[in-house]
Chain A
Amino acid sequence: MSEHQAERPLGGPIFTPTLFVLLAIIFSGAALVCYRLLFGLGAVSAMNDGYAWGIWKPLNVVTFTGIGAGAYAVGLLTYVFNRWQYHSLVRSAIVVGAMAYTLGGTSVLIDLGRWWNLWVTFYPPLYNLNSVLLEVAVCVMTYTAVLWVELTPPILEQASRWKYEPVRRVAKWGLPWVRKALPFVISVALLLPTMHQSSLGGLYMITPTKLHALWYTPWLSGLFLMSCVTMGFGAVVIVENLTSLNYRRRMDQRLLGRMAPVPAMLVLSFIAIRLIDIAVQGKLPYIWTFDFYSKLFLVEMALFLTPALLMLLRSVRKNRGGLFISGVLLVLAGTVYRFDTYLIAYKPTTGWVYFPSLGELLFSACLASTGIAVYIVMIKVFPILSGVPSRKKPTIVAQA
């Protein structure tokens, strides 16, 4: 294996100014959570009986885990479709996934009115198997644990080089076992997102009278599953670019470029399935009424179509900026689709309005900051990123 392919820790100082800024946001978010626990959800959010789910569901849960689905997307490509060359992207994607899911779960916990009753989701005799949300809850909690289990190899690898002998011994003893179990862990890690990412769309199959006709379909599950994969790919492109811009590592543009047609084709199939479904249900006229919802739908379609077409162009795939922007658009398209389904195209019966409160935005920012902070610390301490030069070699640093 050539030197820049194996994953290595980035090293470098942990407590940087960036981290302090992130910590400040995290602590103000934590204060907000305390306030919410004392005074109720209404005290910090603009949610109401009409819009019982605010931005925390579509943003913190469905969009975050969509971004975290990079682990699922790249995992499928590498392990199932046998594209081993993408293995160098896997670990970073899993760290993003682990954080995204942990934070999504945290958000749900804070959002639950009667959180102390969460035990019911661990107690099968009470299970209502008709509930899509139950599937989501159990599956997401399990998958979050699985993602962290998937991260034991890099953690143990690093621990086996640690300065304390007992730690080294435990790590060296554990590593072969973990490696042996890993294929089964990976299978679970690929199965669970298939289940809950589709269910995240399936949640809104219960709202035929409230969700606008252009978004309501019995195929919501399939559409959410497809779009989480495209979001995941987009997120991988973004994270690869950002880490190589900010840290001393080389990004493999050719590798990302070669991967790009996969999400592009997926997006095109997504659009095709959606349009065919709308046509079959006889809802095509809704598209050209040019009212608010029809415009929203067209914007959404354009957001999906643009990155797909860009990523099919060889010149864009070779161009770092071009591919990066396509990645951003992929994530944005999936995000808008999620917000439309959960909030914007969702209409309760009478006169309710909802606009997120500052508290809701702050809590989302707090979660995002936590994710970024932990990711940065993880890539510095553990062998997560590929393309990091070996520190044993003297590096030539240009003197300013």
Chain B
Amino acid sequence: MSPDRQSTTAVEPERYELRSPSYVRFESNRRGFLKFLGSGVVVVCAAPRTAGSQESGRSRRDSEDDLPRELDAWLHIDPSGGITAFTGKVEVGQNIRTSLSQAISEELHVPPASIQLVMGDTRLVPFDMGTFGSRTTPTMNLQLRRVSAAARDALIAIAAKKWNVDPASLTAENGRIVDTSSTRSATYSELVKGQQITELLPSEDPLIPATQWKIAGRTLPKVDGRDFVTGKHRYPSDYKLPGMLFGKIVRPKSFNATLISADIREAESLPGVTVVRDGNFLGVAAETSVLAARAAASVRAEWKSDPQPSNGELFDYLKKNRVPKDRDDGSVHEIGNVKEAFSSTEHRLNSTYQIQYIAHAPLEPRAAVAQWDEDHLTVWTGTQRPFGVRSELATAFHLPEEKIRVQMPDMGSGYGGKHTGDAALEAARLARAAKRPVKVVWTREEEFTWAYFRPAGVIEVSCAANGDGKITAWEFRNYNSGTAGIRTYYDIPNQRIEFVPVDSPLRQGSYRGLAATANHFAREVQMDEMAAFLKMDPLEFRLKNLKDDRLRAVFQEGAKKFGWEKKKPSNGVGFGMGGGYEKLGYVATFAEVFVDSGTGTVTVQRIVTAFECGAIVNPDGLRSQVEGANIMGIGGALFEAIQFQDGRILNPHFAQYRVPRFKDVPKIETVLLDRKDLPSVGAGEAPIVGIAPAIGNAIFQATGQRLRSLPLAPDGLKATVKS
């Protein structure tokens, strides 16, 4: 294990994760907020110590920003016994509304269903950078447990005072404080009645260890599942306000276009239509979505843009277009003497790997409803960064942030794709002009075109190893795709790892696991290549170069479940593996792939993933995340790629951009390693990193073909396999 990884459990936010340039933070009126909560017990805290800030040796700024520095209310128990908790994290399908409820429930000794969790409402919740980087479980879960423990202790103190007993003789049980020395007990509601207590979080509170968890650590179904199967839940795109208009944006034909002229006369002549032209922004608002679409289509706009690169030249372009010096934030990590090690080691390999742009394609496209009240703006929108969107709106409309409220109803997924507030800005601009609330919902084509993509990349890897299978030197250069997961977790004495930032031809940003998907792909395929070159078993080769016990464990447990050593692939079938460490989680994925030698069709038949993320909070929720990551990962591994030409997306529809469907799904087995002795960490991202190399390596075993570009086989292997 590399020493600087061992020393920190904080995750450095990936470069593309943070898109808005700065966070101008205005004083918010928290005093008013506390008054709004009324009587009862309120737990407030400031500058809390978290897993991040406690243990981080580096990226101080980022881990400190993990939680707010101002005084904030996190939990409130009102006199009727209602429990409300507040968090800036948002629910996007990763099921944290449930797992965070479990955390609160555990420490506060109340049923999870009795907790109301207010999420992602910038007016009500403490500041939060956003829901990304798998930070919810390591940071927010811990924070809410601490807050809940403080509330429990406050209730015990109230009861101790009331009954004039030693607090040590009191315990919390199922919504009551119980006096263990007598039969006396009181409900939380009885205790907080008439109280006005603000409990400041102490610097240390004893939390219930995972080994003694009764509610956390067990499977709990989605807390509001019924609202989803009945269609009752309102997603951002379902919001509706009285008098609301529908907005539609007039888009240019290509990226980076400048609006030259626009004939809006016909649109303006339509009944009740508002047309807005503001800089490069051109949009309409109308009484119905049909009328808005008609008005937008009637606008004759002329745009100007310069020629732009296309897919065909992408990888060449990435290698030749390093960002100019003044913006260059490239990095080099070097240990030992790579040059000397390469020249003195017997076996050497050089490979180049390529990664295409892919789209998140969340099933719910970007959506927002905006409403102005004088100079106050309220927006309901689907985003992973409500406070980030508030900041974007403040900048765009020259407003102080306290005049803007962003609310984020649990949305139809994001996968890192909804960090920005595009739809919110558009809806707000139209609403200001129309003087009515406006809703903007992107079409699928807009979502595929005007969102942003997982970065494309070129990765060059060189590896040197001795005949006994010990790697001596490792050189790794990543152009553009990013730094997440760029370091090797294999124990290699001489390393040079470089990131080269590039002026991306397409708008790019965060994605589930981000560059870790690309970096793990290149690294784990290279490992397989070297093992094959040395005629060693790929598992044995990895373990020979791996000291990290947690990573060894997932490889070994996964191999056991898969039957790695027992099973020998038969005709057309290949086995492969890929694994690693990402966002504090450990993963090893094994794939069984069948390649039809007649048709070249590639079928993933079986996947086994072993995963470890500390003490498990919700086993079935975790299993679902691992399964889902594998299935989503099959798309990026085998067939997903954005096709573009001269600033246009050529495949902006589900009929053209293939995503995994029912028939693409193999048998999936998940092995969860529950480490109750370790802090719980996130699981939304790490499980996706092993699948692409596992499939690529399995294809090699099945066919002898080494595929080094993602997607591996968008049209099968037809062209290269003889029948």
Partners in one complex: no
Taking Cβ atoms with an 8 Å cutoff, the residues of B that contact A are none
